[in-house]
Chain A
Amino acid sequence: MTRVQNCKFKVQSQNLGLLTFNLELDSEAVVLKTFMHTRSALMLCALFAAAFLLTACGGAPPTGWSGARVVDGIVYAGNSVGRVMALGATDGALKWQFPADNNVTAVYSTPALANGIVYFGAFDHKFYALDAATGAKKWEFDATAPIVSSPVVSESGLVYFGANNRRVYALDARTGAKKWEFETQGEVWADPTLAGGVLYAPALDHKVYALDAASGARKWEFDAGGIVVTKPAVAAGLVYVAGLSKLFALDAQSGAKRWEFEASNWVWSNPTVAGGVVYFGALDGRVYALDAQAGKEKWNTPFKANDAVRSAIVVDGGTGYFGADDRKVYAIDLATGQGKWSRVTNGRVLASPGIANGVVYVSSHDNLLYALDAATGTVKWSVDVTSGKLATPAK
């Protein structure tokens, strides 16, 4: 047996002066002695490490969940690195991105388009209007607080959105000049909906406000009993809006409640009305289909994703498309609530998809924007939003 005597391996952090480790080896035993010069120094190191850990476990930057808007063969979408991009719908080729060499912190707002201008709000407190062809900034409006809400543009030339300073704004879509503002009691994260000259704007103060779109005057308000973060859907004289885990159907004229439905968890998915049915998801992954007039469930059992559904259920030809926190994009049969296909990504899919010409466009937190075949879920192309380059070339 080989015997090694007095073989000492010594690690001493001379520069730091913190710890001296003596590792003594011999044939009989390995003894590790850890001696600490000053325990207080070790404590300080532990505090340092803890501070780093604290920074890591809660201070994650906002990433946004901007949906995709497809207009005239161009896909406009905010991305997880705080930019808005314009991509060719068929090949994913980058047309422009804004800002070109920086970011606007985070983009939750799904861009709106009108008269060749792209509108969106950003977490950097600014509301932007860009030239849709070039991405050049036409104007910006400082809301003095982060903007989560997506804008809506009226035919009369006003653009509406909410901000975290508890206000709903109406700006001149051409110049950015403020026309009116309406103050709520809570941050306004939900996207407002414009219908019949009325702007329906929910807020985190638990209320849904119906405002005159021209003047901002309040017509009615409804207390939903909890935070409202979903865009109201308006159809056949009813306004559908979620408050915490309840979905309400309200009379569009008076705000009177027609019916309510209790989901299994909070509803952050914008309700979609199609063919007399309201579709929406819940944060426990369930997807519901309700009769729009009566509020009764249409499917035997709700569809169940493996994690939260924040995305809206986007309807196209009898199929509903949505993303989920389980990193998947789903397609479900709206008649039965059964799954058709699902596509796994490498990140959370909190953004709502956009659909055009049989292609589903959706962003994932894996920093890719996907174009999926609506029939099969096959990836047609994907773009790395950090570089603007194709990650999967167009097929």
Chain B
Amino acid sequence: MDFLTPLWNNIVVDPMVNLLLWIYTMLVQIAVPGAYGIAIILFTLLVRAVTLPFYAQQQKAMKKQQTLMQSKEWQEMQKKYAKNREQLAQEQMKLYKREGVNPLGGCLPALIPWPIMIGLYQSIMTVMGAQPEQLMELSKHIYRFIPALAAAVPVQSDFLGMNLAGMPQTYGGLYYVVPALVLVTTLIQQRMMVMPSTDPQSAQMNQSMMVMMPLFIGYISLSFPVGLSLYWIVFNVVGIVQQYLNTGWGNLFVGTPWEAAANKGKKNVGSK
């Protein structure tokens, strides 16, 4: 399995590291303040654009399934086989087949961008070089035929009054805003993504996951360099915009005082 790491580095991490550094050097040349922060934002947008077709496919499949799950036939099936979950599962599978909906259809396209995202994450960490080991590791990834890239190291990690390599739990103060934004954007995206479930058990599960997941991400971002959280925030914001354009606000306002207002808006989105 020793060949996997070099393969992964050559195909995924190295190109990303060099592209990220190249964007950074371009921004430095035109004297953009907070160049590494801006480079992370641009790079995340670029990678998001590359993976856009996969997400679009996923959202399309989810929308199709959502429509099916809201159909009268589905609801009746739920009631009819309420006490026989096995039979219910079989009937639902039949319905999926008949309507040409693959229940896993949205999962595969969603999983394909993950290696890219992990590569993006590794690139940001490596280029930032917050720890000596990481900066040392960078030498293995930089293309030596572009001397300007090595000369740009270390990246200047000041951004909006923060050190992008700094961690909120160490630096405190303003740095706590970052995990809070990570939490909020993750929460919004989760609420928009989760489909309503007629099964009370699943609905309860969804509800708890919608809270737990953002809390978990927000918590771990306390001990992440804020540069990484910046990537996470941009990643989420793009996801929110994309989700809104595809399915509207989804379940974002369900169970909130703004539900009624959102339902009016939903009609407008639907009529677009």
Contacts and interface: CB of A to CB of B under 8 A. Distances in A.
Interface of A: 10, 12, 16-18, 20, 22, 33-44, 46-48, 50-51, 53-55, 57-60, 62-63, 65, 108, 148, 186-187, 189, 204, 206, 225-227, 229, 244-245, 265-266, 268, 283, 308, 310, 350
Contact of A108 (B121, B132, B217, B224): B132
B240 interface: no
A59 B85 contact: no
Contacts of B213: 44, 47-48, 51
Interface string B127-152: 00001110110011000000000110
B105 to A, nearest CB: 8
Contacts of A245: 150
A40 B151 contact: no
Given A17-B199, A17-B201, A41-B206, 8 more contacts: A39-B62, A47-B213, A55-B220, A108-B132, A226-B151, A244-B151, A268-B139, A283-B136
Most B-side CB within 10 Å, residue of A35, A42, A57, A245: A35
A37 B220 contact: no
Contacts of B199: 17, 37-38
25 contacts: A17-B202, A17-B204, A34-B104, A35-B92, A36-B104, A37-B202, A38-B205, A40-B195, A40-B197, A40-B206, A43-B110, A44-B190, A44-B206, A46-B110, A50-B118, A51-B216, A59-B224, A148-B132, A204-B154, A227-B153, A227-B154, A245-B150, A266-B136, A283-B139, A308-B136
Interface in B103-135: 103-104, 106-107, 110-111, 114, 117-118, 121-122, 125, 131-133, 135
A233 to B, nearest CB: 20
A187 B134 CA distance: 15
- Dominant secondary structure at the B interface: helix
Query: Mostly helix, strand, loop or mixed at chain A's interface?
Result: loop
Nearest to B66: A40
Contact of A226 (B114, B125, B153): B153
A47 B194 CA distance: 12
Contacts, number: 128
Contacts of B197: 37-38, 40
A308 B139 CA distance: 10
Interface in B215-265: 216-217, 220, 223-224, 228
B65 A39 contact: yes
Given A17-B199, A54-B118, A43 B132 contact: no
A11 B237 CA distance: 38
B195 A35 contact: no
B89 interface: yes
B55 to A, nearest CB: 12
Interface string B62-105: 10010000000000000000000110010011000000000110
Given A20-B89, A186-B154, A38 B122 contact: no
A60 B126 CA distance: 12
- 5 tightest A-B contacts by CB? A17-B201, A58-B125, A266-B139, A44-B209, A38-B202
B193 interface: yes
A144 to B, nearest CB: 10
